[in-house]
Amino acid sequence: MERNEQPHEEAEETLDQINKKTGRNMPQAIATGAALVILIVACLLLSVDLFVLLVVVFMILALWELRVDFATVGLHLPVFMLWLCSSFTLIATYYSPYHLITMSLSIIVSIILVAIAASAKISVGAPPKKGGGRAQSPTASAARQNSRAPTGISWGLPGKLSNTDASARLESSFNHEGGEQHHSRLSHVAVSVLTVLYIPLLASCVIISLTFNGHPIAHAIMLVFLPALSDTGGLFAGAWLGKHKLSPRISPKKSVEGLVGSMLFAMAGAFAVFACTYDASKWATRWWVPIVAGILIGAVGTFGDLCASMLKRDIGIKDMGHLLKGHGGVMDRVDSILMSAPFTCALLWITGL
């Protein structure tokens, strides 16, 4: 009996060590990743239109997560206007015969409408109390603000705050001794415009890649799966070989070795996609494109991860959400995809692939 328990305990210890090195629950992460791969591949094989709809759904979920994240520090996103404008932008970009023009005009109109909607928000939470008072922890402050906020703002905050690490909140730049956070109307407009530029604009580049040169499935695989493959390469290379920290202050677990692993995995994936898609004549003149794609996706995807980590650290949260078990939120999964999308799309368009 003891002999049977010993291998089981050793396996659990090994798994715990892997989870600590990667910063994730690896069994959950693998299961969730496999489910996402099956879902995306099924949509691509059935219809590219279904894939476009799937991108819209993920974008809606990502916008919801950002709305809750910013609400924890008292910043308001007009989420319904963002949903409406962003969905129209992606769908119109795909179905319009003038894809790039439609995308540009839709983003400009979205910025205007979202800015107006954000500026119409007069206040978030209750007005500040005058006079002294005992300073509160950021989590307690946000919770008290949540209890006084309108229903549209408070919905979703209790769960977010209950899953928030107190040490992360203490490191937030919004951690002030004044208690509740109150922002100017311009602050709400600024974060709302940033959200338009971050999610629908970058997601539009994924949609644009489906519309040229007659290889929508190959383009979708490159823009969605190569950044994910790059993340996987960086995760394993960093966990087993990582010794030189890339940016200790922003993301302590990222390493130079992980960055190299990201590039190599993305490069290998790009070669595989090219081998299954293009003929010998393309290979003869475009053999260097997978190398450039791997370097671009590895570098820009890592930069996207660092940007998301910096945003989370500034707000004082650990994960953007909790919808994807083992990965955090939707934004934790798609940050590198969004950031690398315009570069990969431009590379494919310029090289005629």
pLDDT tens digit sequence for 162-209: 455 545 444 555 554 444 556 778 888 999 999 999 999 999 999 999
Residue 165 is predicted with a pLDDT of 52
Residue 136 backbone dihedrals phi, psi, to 5 degrees: -115, 155
> What number is the average pLDDT over the span 279-287?
85
Q: Among 8-12, 43-47, 247-251, 289-293, which is the least confidently predicted range? A: 8-12
Neighbours of 106 (CB within 10 A): 22
Residue 257 is predicted with a pLDDT of 84
Residue 156 is predicted with a pLDDT of 52
State the number of CA atoms in the 13 A half-sphere of 265 facing the CB: 24
User: If we measure between CA atoms, which residue out of 198, 199, 340 comes closest to residue 270?
Assistant: 340
d(CA 17, CA 20): 5
**pLDDT (tens digit, 9 = 90+) per residue, 225-271?**
999 888 888 878 877 776 777 777 777 777 788 888 899 999 999 99
List Cα–Cα distances, 283 to 108, 118, 222, 280, 308, in angstroms.
39, 50, 17, 5, 36
Give this prediction's pTM: 0.77
Share the mean pLDDT of the chain: 78
**pLDDT (tens digit, 9 = 90+) per residue, 306-330?**
887 787 777 777 767 666 665 567 8
Q: Is 180 within 8 Å of 74 (Cβ atoms)?
A: yes
Residue 88 is predicted with a pLDDT of 96
H or E element that contains 253: strand 251-255
**pLDDT (tens digit, 9 = 90+) per residue, 93-105?**
999 999 999 999 9
Q: Among 36-45, 151-160, 291-300, which is the least confidently predicted range? A: 151-160
